[in-house]
Structure 1
């Protein structure tokens, strides 16, 4: 095509960035492959033969496709294109994750994402089966087919605006005596942490509602159903809805696990998103004393 556009081998070679002999050899080899003459010489210029003219539209489409493939490969290398499949806890799909994903995609117009919320057991199944690139879960105890990064998130006591807990700097189990309590589901590790904290303080828990998700607990608190102890990640999303919070003592970290399949080689895009997401947790991460 370069020879057709330039009308000479010399100009085509310069356009392609290769030597004139190399360009001539390519033409000769291509002519032998097709078994017909590709070019005629007229008035000092090389012009396509009738047979070549018939092939020209197809040649143009192939060149455009090759150019497109080249551009896409550059985007993939620069993490500007690709498809990420992320599994997460249901609460994350409506709290922290959307903001992180939106910012991540701002400068990556060619990237697509699938977000699938489900319970921890299902997320583990997906990681083992290599169905998703990355997962956000809790209560992960390890699996030989799954790599994990564990992050401890601060937790806070949340209560409606105007509650007398707002006068305190920190909230303890003793401060929650007589309060309707919205507690985590009894089969969760976090419930057992809370139960132990109240037991050690010799304070009975007065559960009013039991929920699996921190976001559900926050919604209930906003609607006056009681108070709760939740991840600070979820609490900050409800500040404008009339939710107040204070640090809870003793410290009860909510352990998040960022997981991915070990045997499935991660794409550069996957690794970059995991790093990006982990960094987004930094403001809420529990620091070791």
Structure 2
């Protein structure tokens, strides 16, 4: 026996209205269509659901028993339809995001706050890992979206690259804080805070100072831009920052200035290569890409 939801909906409407005419109006169907569905349902069930009495349909004892199950089934179908709509609208689901700390600490929570504002049934797991760890873990395929510094092996993930131009951060009392643009000539011999020498920006800065014949005096190396920014805020030295970190900390305790020649820094938004992103993941990807776009050049 295979029943369908149209038959059950028809039965529910007749139980509520008492006549096929009223049930047809409720369901926006013709009266013959309602009668046909009722007849087919009774045939499949093998027992009568109604008896006619003075133009009305009176439920049988069997109908009352079956009504409870029919309502439960229709409620389940309605719930399934609601869930499907919530999933389709990106308002239900689970999202796993892994990111390097530079955007995981402040920027991503801001974007996630915006994303989750009208999605109370969505849960997100945000993990912060170094870009090296992210690149090693990507083939395991346990994330929905990743954000990593480049380069990334695009044979195991789909990469949307973004290129940033780095800036310099200084304490407001630094003697160069009033300069509109910083250069190797101006920073000659100044105390400097940089990310580790393995980082792409380290090499670029070393080449920029060497090309200008100026001294690049690094007194502190950190693993992340976030720590370099904190050092600059405390007057340790001039720090190189990506523009996202700089924007998150711009204010009274720090001065942000451009640097020439330009120091480039690349990150990528990553999606698993061997499976289609969920609707929820695609919606967050679009929002994230849009929020990072103003920093990219």
After TM superposition, is the score higher than 0.5? yes
RMSD between aligned alpha carbons?
2.2
Q: Which of the residues 57, 60, 66 maps onto 1:46? A: 57
**Residue in 2 that maps onto 1:113:** 124
CA contact (8 A) 1:139 1:188 kept: no
- How do residues 162-201 of structure 1 correspond to structure 2 at under 5 angstroms? 162-201=173-212
Is residue 251 of structure 2 the alignment partner of residue 240 of structure 1? yes
**Residue in 2 that maps onto 1:12:** 23
CA contact (8 A) 1:229 1:248 kept: no
How many pairs are equivalent?
286
Q: Distance in 2 between matches of 1:178 and 1:230?
A: 19
Q: Distance in 2 between matches of 1:206 and 1:47?
A: 94
Shift of 1:43: 4.3
**Residue in 2 that maps onto 1:256:** 267
Q: Which of the residues 259, 267, 285 maps onto 1:274? A: 285
CA contact (8 A) 1:222 1:241 kept: no
**Residue in 1 that maps onto 2:4:** none
Is residue 225 of structure 2 the alignment partner of residue 214 of structure 1? yes
Q: Distance in 2 between matches of 1:157 and 1:148?
A: 28
Q: TM-score, normalised by structure 2?
A: 0.87
Q: Distance in 2 between matches of 1:178 and 1:47?
A: 97
CA contact (8 A) 1:156 1:231 kept: yes
Uncovered stretches (5+) of structure 1, i.e. residues with no partner: none
Deviation digits for residues 221-273 of structure 1 (CA, Å, limit 9, x no counterpart): 21222221001111122123501111011101211111111221123332232
Comparing 173-182 and 84-93, the one that deviates more: 173-182
Q: Which of the residues 87, 90, 96 maps onto 1:76? A: 87
Deviation digits for residues 75-105 of structure 1 (CA, Å, limit 9, x no counterpart): 3333333332221111211122121222222
Q: Distance in 1 between matches of 2:152 and 2:97?
A: 20
Runs of 4+ in structure 1 over 4 Å off: none
Q: Distance in 2 between matches of 1:91 and 1:56?
A: 59
**Residue in 2 that maps onto 1:3:** 14
- How do residues 81-100 of structure 1 correspond to structure 2 at under 5 angstroms? 81-100=92-111
Q: Distance in 2 between matches of 1:240 and 1:64?
A: 54
Q: Distance in 1 between matches of 2:71 and 2:230?
A: 59
Shift of 1:139: 2.0
Determine helix, strand or coil for the equivalent of 1:91. helix
The 1:165–1:57 alpha-carbon spacing in structure 2 relative to 1, beyond 3 Å, is: farther
The 1:184–1:22 alpha-carbon spacing in structure 2 relative to 1, beyond 3 Å, is: same
Comparing 165-174 and 16-25, the one that deviates more: 16-25
**Residue in 1 that maps onto 2:32:** 21
Is residue 53 of structure 2 the alignment partner of residue 59 of structure 1? no
CA contact (8 A) 2:189 2:216 kept: no
**Residue in 1 that maps onto 2:113:** 102
